[in-house]
Amino acid sequence: MSKPEFVYTIYIASTPERVFAALTDAKMSEQYWHGSSVVSDWKIGSPFAIRMPRHNKEITGEVLEYDPPRRLAYSFLAHDGSDGGKASRVTFELERQRDQVRLTVIHDRFEPGSVALEKISLGWPLILSSLKSYVECGRVLHAPWYENEATTEQAR
């Protein structure tokens, strides 16, 4: 029996170089990751992190593949118990198609029975849609799960 995986494909009106840069640049990622940033020197075997100041935590891992602007992969450990303490893997595949990019994200190697797949199935579509909006028109999408947080902050 194979382990569960999440696969998502999105088309972005841009170049593979621009999309790859957005996936690997800390400042750019802060825009579409809702204040979180991807951080690494992007050498194979180097540490990788998604710094999430809003939650005072990090997702960590290691760079597994780095082939700009075609392919990027890293291990992914959330540290919140949802992944059973075992890292999963995220792979980005970029393919130029005329004047657009076909971006496929494969998040796999989940432990059977972990709730991580359910959590990332909610997060990745919004992050990738926000990436698309950011690269194509310089705008990002809001995260609906932060709306209650904003309402609570305004009430204080």
Alpha carbon 67 to its chain's center: 17
> Tens of pLDDT along 46-105?
999 999 988 888 999 999 999 999 999 999 998 776 676 789 999 999 999 999 999 999
Predicted pLDDT of residue 154: 45
The answer to whether 97 touches 70, Cβ cutoff 8 Å, is no
Q: Which CATH architecture has domain 6-155?
A: 2-Layer Sandwich (3.30)
Largest separation between any pair of C-alpha atoms in the chain: 50
> Tens of pLDDT along 111-126?
877 778 888 888 899 9
The answer to whether 82 touches 107, Cβ cutoff 8 Å, is no
Burial class (CB in 10 A: 0-12, 13-18, 19+), 127: buried
